[in-house]
Structure 1
C-alpha cells in the first residue's frame, strides 16, 4: 500500500496546525497530496420554522468564507513547496465529513492533532476518534501538540503475538516505515514466563514481511502495569512513534484496566499510529 493522499482534519487550532506541518513533512517524503477537511456543523432548525433558510444560509456562507480565509493564511505561512494541498468544507459532523472525504478522495492516512499529550489514549479508544478509525478504515496518526518536527526514525510496534494472524494488516506501517527509513522495534508484553518459543513462527512471519527494514524484537515478561513497561521501552529504546492495533488488542484492554493509565498518558509525548483491524 502506497500513501498517495493524506487527510488532515482542520479547525485551525494550534494542535491542528501542528498536525498539518507534520503532514507536510510526510507528504514530501512520500510524494503525496494533502486533503484538508474542515466542517461547519450548523444546528438543525425544523423546516416549519418561518424563515429557517434565511437564518441558516447567511450564517453558513459567512462561516465558509472564514474557513477559506483561514486556509489561505495556513498555506501562506507554511512551506508547502511541491505538495498539492486541497481544502474541502462540509456542513456535517466531523466523523461524517472525514468518512465522506476519505471515500471521495481515496485517502490513505489521517494525520490529526491532539490538544494535549494527555489525550493520546482518548484519541485511541475514545468515542470520537475510535468512531473515526472504525468508519475510515485507514491508518490514523495522532500528533500531540507539544511534539514539533517528530522523528520517525525508530518506531515501536506493540504486538500481541497470541492474537496476531496476518502480517498484511501492517502494510501501511511497512510503507510508512520505508519512506521514513525507520527501524522497527516490536514490543511484546506478556505475564507468562515460559513457552515464549511458541511465537517464534509469528516473529519469523513478521520479519519476512518487513524484510529490508531494520528490526528488533523485545519481550517484556513481568506483571508490572503496562503503562510503566511501555513508557520504559519508549525511553530506553528512544522511540519516536508508537504503533498499536486498536481492535481486539489485549494491550489496549490492559491499558484501560490499569489504575496507572492516567499516569502514563500524562507523561507520554510521542506520536501514535493506529490501524483498524478489518
Structure 2
C-alpha cells in the first residue's frame, strides 16, 4: 500500500517502492483519504453546503490519484506492477487498517513527512500515527529526497530483552534474502557490559532465525541518545535500511513517544522498516515467492 497526500515526499516513497520490487509481480494500492471541513452559511442549509464541499474534495482526491498513477506509468513503467487507486472519505489510519485486512497487504510504504512536513522533525505526525496504530503489517518509511539504493547492508536494532518470533522476523529475513543483504544486529548500551542470561538466549535464537543469511552482531556505546547512536552507526557502516521491531519499551516505541524537540536530533537519512509486534500466536502472511537460501554462512 502506498498512502499519498500528493506531496513530493509521497512521490519519492512511491518511486522507492517501485524500484524495491522491480523484479517482482505485485499490486500497489494507492490510497488517498479526505475529511472535508463542513462549511457554514446563514443563507444555505448546512447539509447542502457540506455535501457540495465533500463532492469537491472527493473529485480532487480521485483526480489526484489518477494523475499520480499516470505519472508512475509515464516515468517508472514496469510490466510486473499493477496499481489500484482508493479514494476514501475517512481518517487515514482507520482506512489503512481496513485496507490491510481486506486486501491482505504485505507492506505499507510511506514518506516520512508529507505536505506539511518540517525538515527538522524525526517523522511526520501521520507516519508516527501509522507506526503506533498498525499492528499487523510492517511499515517502511522513506525519507524525503532519499534516492533508491539496493539494500545490501541492513541494520536491525535490538536490546535482546525480548524474544523475537519467526513470524516477526519474516519481513526482515525476506528482504535480506531477496537482495542478498547482510544483516547487522546492533545493540546500543549506555555502558558496555555482558549480556544477561535472557539476553544471551534471545541473541542465540535470533542468530538461529537468521542462519540462512549473512549477519553480524555489533555492540555500541550510546552517544547522547539511542536514536543519535543509530544514526551515526548507520552512517559509518554504510547502512541502506534500518529495521526495528515495535513493542512496548522498544527503541522504536521510545522514539515515537519522545517530544518533538527531542526527536529533532534524529534525522531519518535512510529508510526505516518498522515491524509490528505479532507474538507467538499470530501467523504471518506473505504473497512473496519462496527464496533460495543465501550461501554466505553467519559470522
Pairwise TM-score range, normalised by the shorter structure: 0.7 to 0.9
Q: CA deviation at 1:18?
A: 0.8
Shift of 1:152: 1.2
2:2 and 2:202 map into 1 onto residues whose CA distance is 34
Relative to structure 1, is the Cα distance of residues 120 and 155 closer, same or farther in structure 2, using a 3 angstrom cutoff?
Answer: farther
Aligned to 2:18: 24
What residue in structure 2 maps to residue 75 of structure 1? 73
Cα separation, partners in 2 of 1:248 and 1:87, compared to 1, 3 Å: same
Q: 1:9–1:16: 8 Å Cα contact kept in structure 2?
A: yes
Q: In the alignment, is residue 59 of structure 1 matched against residue 56 of structure 2?
A: yes
CA contact (8 A) 1:120 1:272 kept: no
The corresponding residue for 2:130 is 132
Q: Distance in 2 between matches of 1:120 and 1:249?
A: 21
How many matched pairs? Answer: 267
- Of 75-84 and 128-137, more deviation after overlay is shown by 128-137
Summarize the alignment of residues 1-278 of structure 1 with structure 2, pairs less than 5 Å apart. Answer: 7-44=1-38, 49=46, 51-52=48-49, 55-56=52-53, 58-60=55-57, 62-67=59-64, 68-115=66-113, 118=119, 121-123=122-124, 126=125, 128-133=126-131, 134-135=133-134, 137-196=136-195, 198=197, 199-221=199-221, 224-252=224-252, 255=255, 256=258, 261-265=263-267, 268-278=268-278
- The structure where helix makes up a greater share of residues is 1
Find the residue that maps to 1:29 and give its secondary structure. Answer: coil
Alpha carbons of structure 1 residues 119 and 96: separation in structure 2 relative to 1, 3 Å: farther
Structure 1 match to 2:293:
none
Matching residue of 2:294: none
Gaps of 5+ in 1: 1-6
Residue by residue over 1:112-145, the C-alpha shift from the partner in whole angstroms, topping out at 9 and shown as x without a partner, is 012479567335xx5x334323235210001011
* 1:171, distance to aligned residue in structure 2 (A): 1.4
Q: Which secondary structure state, in structure 1, belongs to the residue aligned with residue 264 of structure 2? A: helix
RMSD, aligned α-carbons: 3.0
Task: Note closer, same or farther for the CA distance 1:94–1:227 as it changes in structure 2 (3 Å cut).
Answer: closer
Counterpart of 1:3 in structure 2 is none
Structure 2 unaligned runs (5+)? Answer: 279-299
* C-alpha distance in structure 2 between counterparts of 1:16 and 1:228, whole Å: 25
Change (3 A) 1:271 1:64: closer
| TM-score, normalised by the number of residues in structure 2 | 0.77
TM-score (structure 1 length as normaliser): 0.82
